[in-house]
Structure 1
Amino acid sequence: MTLSFQTLGLSEAQLRVLGDLGFTDPTPIQVQAIPVLLEGRDVVGQAQTGTGKTAAFGLPLLHRLEQNNPDVQALILTPTRELAIQVAQALHSFRTESRVRVLPVYGGQSIERQLQRLERGVQVVVGTPGRVLDLLERGSLRLNGVRMLVLDEADEMLNMGFLPDVERILSQVPDARQTAFFSATLNNGMQQLIRRYLKEPVNVRVQTPKDAPVRITQVAYQLPRNVPKSRALLPILEVEDPEAAIIFVRTRQAAAELTSTLQAAGHSVDEYHGNLSQSQRERLLSRFRSSQVRWIVATDIAARGLDIDTLTHVVNYDLPDSLESYVHRIGRTGRAGREGRAITLVTSFERYKLRAIERHVGQTLEVLSLPTRAEVEAKNLEKFKTRIQEALSGERLASFLPLVAQLGGDGYDVQAIAAAALQLAYDGNRKPGDMALADELEPEQRSNGGSEGGRPRSSRPVPRVSRRS
């Protein structure tokens, strides 16, 4: 029997909201977790990012709220500000009553604003451990009425060193509460936390790491020796042509350096890392979502908590430190039923890491060679042809026809006029260093198994523009 949201025990009002939001069938984690949480039992949910965890705990949490009670009744802890904002937005959209107030609290935003919101009455607080503790110490946040506590991405909270903060917060929440931990992994630290703070929890597990989503195509590019990785990335991006991409690097310095390289090459890109203030992050994400910026170069702080449905590509510029991080990274794309593509750059010294990734996801990744000059040129010409086709049906075309007639009267062939105009437009459209980069990589590409097997490539002559006799 196919399960639906109607079979999980949610209220009619919640079902209507889900219908309005376009939710049709529940995900596996929702099927398993929602009924148990509605019963009031503690839950340990193990599932990766992008499996629907927020709805899995958020819908039961909202179902059990006393809507007329202005006290804080539910607390959700997240490791990052981005995830706190995302979860709060999701809960806000799941509400059946406007009286229910959800407040995200995190560092980087004015604490005065958060204090004012708490004073007016909030039923659900979603926050990072540091800011929650700050509000508790000020006496502005009171948890004595909390009936449900959720740790989202609990393993990441422990990895980031938040265990002491989490335990201090847990000590101020009533014992007679419902507790849910959601995590991608269950390491020793997680197991100890579960034994100390959960009561006979029901374990809910969704196996996704070894069953990578079919809507995400995963490929790897083998990089030639002695070619800087930042330079090798440029032809890959030219051929792949991501509409919206996150390029993952290991450090903030790497993010800044790679962003500068890509910007110098004429690409629409910006950096995203922990040194940015919260307002800077929010502005960048707003520009990214509205396509004002095509690509983001990010550290792993963006691997959790960012939910951008329109993301077409994830690029692993630097391989992650853990296999779980790889799955979290690529899970940023292929969302909301869309196709996604995950690209991993691999040096000759990292092939063993690629094999470990393949074992972990249960797939063999296609390994590609660095794109050749001919492939980059062909891709650029294909994009240019599309632009020409769009111009041919545009309104401005008529304004250029008199110029064509004038040149024709001077004795130039119409086809030659068109070719000359195309050449000028194409050369003006090329990004700085496109072909210089391809030329720089050609010798190395040939010596490392390039697609033409080491044969020298001949350049095509540029046709002359002839006049009619």
Structure 2
Amino acid sequence: MATAFSALGLSEPVVKALDELGFEQPTPIQQKSIPFLLDGRDLLAQAQTGTGKTAAFGLPLVDRSDPQDARVQALVLAPTRELAVQVCEAIHTYSKHSGVRVLPIYGGQPIDRQMRRLRAGAQIVVGTPGRVLDLMRRSSLDLTALRTLVLDEADQMLDMGFIEEVQTILDAAPPERQLVFFSATLPASIRKLAARHLRTPMTLTMPAEERDTPAIAQRVYFVNFKNRAQALTRVLAAEDPASALIFTRTKQAADELAEQLQDDGHRAEALHGDLNQSAREAVLGRFRRQQLNVVVATDVAARGLDIADLSHVINYDLPQDGESYIHRIGRTGRAGRSGVAISFALPTDRYRLRLIERATGSTLVPAKIPSAGEIQVRRTERLVEQLRRQLQADESDPNLVLYREVVGQLREEFDLGDIAATFLKLAQQRPGSTGSG
């Protein structure tokens, strides 16, 4: 439950949204910064991706916004449009029950469309410095009602050459505004900017924790949206997972993907919030009893899910941030066992991948979608290994006498190698056999 967040001073609608998202305990930076930001104080925070910093500033933004006032009350500046979209998506989920509207603005999207949306009203705007400044100069983005201005990834913003745009935006904000800087590092340029604009700020330093996932092989497949489903089919055929948990972003996607996997011959079911508690427990029971080998789940439905010997975690949709990624893949490779974490990345996901790698301190190894020939080679390798283990286990099995007699009879008519190859062919064709799907 998200009751721990209510102790930080957050309102009931925000806490309700966090509960539905599966948030249980605030991270250290959230514990320290949320009460402070709710009081309207300025903040300079050094925080890496994966520490929960988006919620640390996003939750107070929602709580401090008045949904009855259609004017812009909070502005978040992000260095890239990918980060702007990601932060906007996160804040939107926090505001589900608050009635607060969140709008992303960035280059590469028609500016007239963004101007119309601003006229329609939004309490929180998340944008890149160039597009924000452009809309301000066109008198479409009015900051007169601004209460809070946040710089996210401030060091990267300055490294990318946005110092003049950021200065102009800061100077245009009302004098009685709250100013919040979040930065992975605190170089001289950031400290100088903070000294000029922040008023008696609290300073937090929250370096990322060491992440240790040595038993988990992490791979990423770069795909397009239209061929992602086919790519998953090929990867599953090559991997032949004993038990796989596949994550999607939405309930509809989970249902559709589970149905597709069933059509492909997998024992798969969906797990999401539209299922009642007894239905969810039934799915998990079948998964634990190995009656299913694939469960397609959303993050909320999978919270608290603990499956022994889970061999694969697959991110069909990349998670929102590094912390969510770590939480997902940590379900495999437990107790000294090995595990596999596979991610599918769309062309728009490259920035999100960098955030994940920064959070984990590791590199996701790019992999190539296996061809039909490579899939067959891997199936054969698994079959050979399975036969080798069975032969070693059955050396003294008395039940083999009958089978040896059958082979002996066939040897009078056929070559021994042909007999073995034919048996293997028949075994491969049996439903549920290794390599069938």
| TM-score of the pair, normalised by structure 1 | 0.53
Q: CA RMSD in A?
A: 4.4
Q: Report Cα offsets for 1:438-463 as digits up to 9, x if no partner.
A: xxxxxxxxxxxxxxxxxxxxxxxxxx
- Partner of residue 38, structure 2: 38
- How many residues were matched structurally? 291
Q: Report Cα offsets for 1:266-314 as digits up to 9, x if no partner.
A: 999xxxxxxxxxxxxxxxxx9xxx899x999xxxxx9x97897467369
- Partner of residue 213, structure 1: 211
Q: CA deviation at 1:125?
A: 0.4
Cα distance in 2, alignment partners of residues 60 and 148 from structure 1: 10
Q: CA deviation at 1:61?
A: 1.1
Where 1:195 maps in the other structure, the secondary structure is helix
Paired residues for 1:212-251 under 5 Å = 212-214=210-212, 216-217=213-214, 242=218, 245=220
Contact kept, 8 Å, 1:313 with 1:342, in 2: the verdict is no
Paired residues for 1:32-431 under 5 Å = 32-97=32-97, 99-208=99-208, 211-214=209-212, 216-217=213-214, 242=218, 245=220, 309=325, 312=341, 328=355, 330-331=357-358, 342=363, 381-382=381-382, 414-419=419-424
Q: CA deviation at 1:21?
A: 1.2
Q: CA deviation at 1:123?
A: 0.7
Cα distance in 2, alignment partners of residues 85 and 47 from structure 1: 20
Q: CA deviation at 1:67?
A: 1.6
Q: CA deviation at 1:6?
A: 2.9
Q: CA deviation at 1:331?
A: 3.7
Cα distance in 1, alignment partners of residues 63 and 314 from structure 2: 39
Cα distance in 1, alignment partners of residues 84 and 383 from structure 2: 39
Q: CA deviation at 1:95?
A: 0.9
Q: CA deviation at 1:382?
A: 3.3
Q: Report Cα offsets for 1:418-437 as digits up to 9, x if no partner.
A: 3467999xxxx9xxxxxxxx
Cα distance in 2, alignment partners of residues 192 and 90 from structure 1: 30
What is the identity, as a one-letter code, of the residue corresponding to 1:156?
Answer: Q
Q: CA deviation at 1:133?
A: 1.1
Cα distance in 2, alignment partners of residues 50 and 383 from structure 1: 41
Sort the Cα spacing of 1:267 and 1:132 in 2 relative to 1 into closer, same or farther, 3 A.
same
Q: CA deviation at 1:218?
A: 8.7
Where 1:145 maps in the other structure, the secondary structure is coil
Q: CA deviation at 1:53?
A: 0.6
Contact kept, 8 Å, 2:14 with 2:94, in 1: the verdict is yes
Contact kept, 8 Å, 1:11 with 1:63, in 2: the verdict is yes
Q: CA deviation at 1:11?
A: 1.4
Where 2:180 maps in the other structure, the secondary structure is strand
What is the identity, as a one-letter code, of the residue corresponding to 1:85?
Answer: V
Cα distance in 2, alignment partners of residues 108 and 384 from structure 1: 53
Q: CA deviation at 1:96?
A: 4.9
Cα distance in 1, alignment partners of residues 426 and 152 from structure 2: 57
What is the identity, as a one-letter code, of the residue corresponding to 1:330?
Answer: E
- Structure 1: gaps (5+ residues): 220-239, 248-262, 269-285, 297-301, 315-324, 335-340, 346-376, 387-407, 430-469
Where 2:214 maps in the other structure, the secondary structure is strand
Sort the Cα spacing of 1:411 and 1:125 in 2 relative to 1 into closer, same or farther, 3 A.
farther
Q: CA deviation at 1:145?
A: 0.8
Q: Report Cα offsets for 1:187-209 as digits up to 9, x if no partner.
A: 0111111101111110112122x
What is the identity, as a one-letter code, of the residue corresponding to 1:186?
Answer: L
What is the identity, as a one-letter code, of the residue corresponding to 2:210?
Answer: A
Q: CA deviation at 1:94?
A: 0.6
Q: CA deviation at 1:415?
A: 2.8
Where 2:126 maps in the other structure, the secondary structure is strand
Q: CA deviation at 1:13?
A: 2.3
Cα distance in 1, alignment partners of residues 10 and 73 from structure 2: 19
Contact kept, 8 Å, 1:313 with 1:333, in 2: the verdict is no
Cα distance in 2, alignment partners of residues 327 and 141 from structure 1: 31
Q: CA deviation at 1:104?
A: 0.3
Sort the Cα spacing of 1:380 and 1:163 in 2 relative to 1 into closer, same or farther, 3 A.
farther
Comparing 118-127 with 11-20, which one deviates more in the overlay?
11-20
- Partner of residue 432, structure 2: none
Q: CA deviation at 1:176?
A: 0.4
Where 1:103 maps in the other structure, the secondary structure is strand
Cα distance in 2, alignment partners of residues 87 and 77 from structure 1: 10
What is the identity, as a one-letter code, of the residue corresponding to 1:143?
Answer: L
